[in-house]
Amino acid sequence: MGEYVRCEVTDGVGTITLARPPMNALDVATQEQLRSAAAWASASAEVRAVVVYGGRKVFAAGADIKEMAGMSYADMVARARDLSSAFDAVARIPKPVVAAINGYALGGGCELALACDWRVVAEDAKLGQPEITIGLIPGAGGTQRLPRLIGPARAKELIMSGRMVDAAEALRIGLADRVVPADEVYDAAVALVRPYVTGPALALRAAKQAVDEGLELSLPAALAWESQLFAGLFATADRAEGMAAFVEKRRPEFGRE
C-alpha cells in the first residue's frame, strides 16, 4: 500500500504490516496508507480474515509527535476527521480482524488495536493512551472504543492518568484477548482467525455488523437491525449449504460469495 504499510495474503489471511521503524510512528502518510490497506482488505475476495501487525519489536508507539508539534489549531481542525476515519476504515473491514501486538501499542497504536475485533498481545507488551501527558486526549477513537470495550470507569482512569498497562492487566480488564510469548504473537493471531477463512463470509460480515453497529443504536433499533441482517442471509448460497449440511449430517462447504 505504500512505503510504511505492507499488505500480503497467504491462504486467505491478509496481513497488514506497519513498517516505519524504529517505532512505527503513525504520521499522516502512514495513516493514509492504513486507509488504503483497509480498503484492499475489504475489497479483496482472496482475503477472508485480517491480521494487523507491527512486526516483532513494536506494534505502534503512537502518533508522530514531531509532525503534530508543528500543526496549528487550524491544521488539526482540517486533519482530525481524516485521522479518525483512517482508523475507522480498519474497524469497518467487513471481515474478522485481529491485532498482533509486540512491544508498545500506545496512543494511536492502542487506538489502531482497538479498531480490530481482537487483540493478541505479547507477554512483555505495554498498552495505553498517554495523550494526556502532552496535554491532549485520544483523537482517533480511544475515548469511544476503549470505554465500550473495558467500561467507562476503567477507560477514564487509563485515559486521564495516561498510564501504561502490561499484558496481564490488559487481559484482566478485557483490553487483550490472548497473551502469548513474544515470538508467538503473529502465529497466534493467525491461528485465531484461521477458522474464519473457510467460514460463511456473508454471515461473518453480518455478525460483525450486527454487533458493531447495534452498539450505536437503542435496543429496539438494534433488534430491528439484527432481524434485517438475519433475514437477508436467507438469500445466500452459504445459508442454503449450511442448512443442507446440517440436515445431511455432514460438514458444510462454504463458498466465496
Catalytic residues: 63, 108, 111, 131
* 53 neighbors 7 (Cβ within 8 angstroms): no
| Sheet of strand 178-180: strand arrangement | 5-10, 13-18, 49-53, 97-101, 118-122, 178-180
* 118 neighbors 71 (Cβ within 8 angstroms): no
Distance of CA 8 to the CA centre of its chain: 17
C-alpha cell at 248: 445431511
| Sheet of strand 104-106: strand arrangement | 104-106, 126-128, 164-166
Q: Which residues pair with 13 in a beta bridge?
A: 10, 49
* 150 neighbors 128 (Cβ within 8 angstroms): no
CA-derived radius of gyration, the chain: 19
